[in-house]
A = this chain, B = another copy of it.
Amino acid sequence: MHPIEELRHTGACVLVEGTLKQSPPEASGQVVELHVTKVVHCGICDASVYPIAKKKITLEYLREKAHLRPRTNTIAAVARVRNCLAFATHEFFQKHGFMYVHTPLITTSDCEGAGEMFQVTTLLAGADAAAAGPPPPSEAQLEALRAAASAAGSAVKTAKEAAKGSGTSGDDPALKSALSALGAAKSELAAAEERVRSVGGLPRTAAGGVDYSKDFFGQKSFLTVSGQLQGEIYACAMSSVYTFGPTFRAEDSHTSRHLAEFWMIEPEIAFADLHDDMQCAESYVRFCCTALLERCPQDLALLSKMYDPAAVDRVKATASTEFARCSYNEAVDILLKALADNAVTFEYPVKWGEDLKSEHERYLAEKVFCRPVIVYNYPKGIKAFYMRLNPDGKTVAAMDVLVPGVGELIGGSQREERLDVLTERMVEAGLSPETYSWYLDLRRFGTVPHAGFGLGFERLLLFTTGMENIRDVIPFPRWPGNCT
């Protein structure tokens, strides 16, 4: 039925029956072969027009063929690694009694001001429609309507006096008709003014701003940048939880390390301090690496061979070796000493009180500790308001996990559980305690010490696969100007 030749084209899909046999010794490069007795299905593929028929195709080109690229060795291997890590994530947290919580994607609160947000709206349909509709009334048209309304008002006045004179006031037909005309003129004017105000098809408030009370949720709403605050709600109610879901940043970032849509894992541990938090982060990453080595050895080997010879060893070392730990103070001292010794040069200066840059983080993980390192107790000025203030009054109980090849993989902290301290830090950060009163309620009513962290899932994929570009480790990457 199908000429045997068609089964052989790159991209053809076949379902066959036959006998699996050991290959003869002279067949090099293969262990078994299938002796086909029946072709059940053959989806043919014309290699002359198949966009990915060639042997050597660049990853850049494949990004433009997102619907065909999982048919390549590389992207398929990445997809299997991704699947393995995703399931290992669930296994790890379930095994340790964490509950999976679906935090919301659409939100009205801007957690920690973590970045620019996408707006979610149904208002633009009106702006689209406005383009198709008649233009808004001109000032002259408005003036005419105002004059008409004013004339109708005078007519009512005249009619009222006439009715009073004749004693028919209540049901004088002329007055009634004048009143009805005035009503019509007024509502026509109001409608015209409303059309001018809802300029471009967007509803407007009296002050001229976009009237979000007319939007789907009755207020301005966004795509979430983090599920942490909602995770805390569940951790403070039911003990440890984790989230695993999509997160968004509307940043005009075109680097190989940023996506507009990516997946995050955010555990929140009840009755935990910073030490517990670091322990959990290390156990989790090492569990993932161990699972990967067991379940996807061939995929890791392929990717390592093609893209980063160090990748497999990095995963093995991570699985088997304890992470290093060092305080932010120690980290700064180490970096300053390395600079003083001329052991390294950095683009950015190292200074206590400033955040570590990627080059500093990678130097610590790759050159100083030669393995993942957890840096903890950062200056409060560079960290979020919800991180627990240390007794020194200068640092907070924050921690970052830095790994070779990637830099920051995880950021976490013990959360400030003291109502008074949290309120003060919030005000310092310029946030309104009224807006976050629900968050303060978690401390007001039965507060509990807790800690958590966030891991960008694609960062974990970069670390384990050795892929260079984050756009190649998510099935359908979104970045500025690209949503295919």
Contact = CB atoms under 8 A, between A and B. Distances in A.
Interface of A: 11-13, 15, 41, 43-46, 50, 66-68, 70-71, 76, 79-80, 82-83, 86-87, 90, 94, 99-108, 116, 118-125, 127-128, 131-132, 138-139, 199-202, 204, 207-210, 216-219, 221, 223, 230, 233-234, 236-238, 245-246, 248, 250, 260-261, 263, 271, 417, 438-439, 441-443, 445-449, 474-476, 478, 480-484
A317 to B, nearest CB: 27
A477 to B, nearest CB: 8
A475 B234 contact: yes
B121 A99 contact: no
A216 B118 contact: yes
Contact of A448 (B43, B106, B116, B132): B43
B230 A475 contact: yes
Nearest to A439: B67
A483 B106 contact: yes
Given A102-B263, A102-B474, A476-B104, A128 B210 contact: yes
Nearest to A122: B250
Contacts of A483: 104, 106-108, 217-219, 221
Nearest 7 A-B pairs (CB), nearest first? A200-B200, A43-B447, A13-B446, A70-B237, A217-B483, A104-B476, A131-B208
A41 B271 contact: yes
A80 to B, nearest CB: 7
B67 A442 contact: yes
Contact of A82 (B102, B199, B233): B102
Nearest to A128: B210
A215 to B, nearest CB: 9
B246 A131 contact: no
Contacts of A201: 200
A93 to B, nearest CB: 9
A100 B83 contact: yes
Nearest to A50: B445
A246 B105 contact: yes
B131 A207 contact: yes
8 contacts: A41-B448, A46-B445, A86-B100, A118-B120, A127-B200, A127-B202, A217-B482, A245-B245
Contacts of A481: 216-218
A230 B476 contact: yes
Given A234-B79, A238-B79, A122 B120 contact: no
A119 B124 contact: yes
A43 B419 CA distance: 10
B104 A70 contact: no
Nearest to A133: B208
Given A83-B101, A230-B475, A234-B70, A210 B106 contact: no
Of A101, A116, A204, most B-chain CB atoms within 10 Å: A101
A200 B233 CA distance: 39
Given A208-B131, A246-B245, A106 B478 contact: yes
Contacts of A119: 120-122, 124-125
Nearest to A123: B124
B445 A237 contact: no
Contacts of A439: 67
Contact of A200 (B41, B199, B207): B199
B260 A106 contact: yes
A209 B449 CA distance: 53
Given A102-B246, A119-B122, 6 more contacts: A67-B442, A68-B441, A68-B445, A105-B105, A119-B125, A200-B200
A98 to B, nearest CB: 9
Given A246-B102, A246-B105, A204 B131 contact: yes
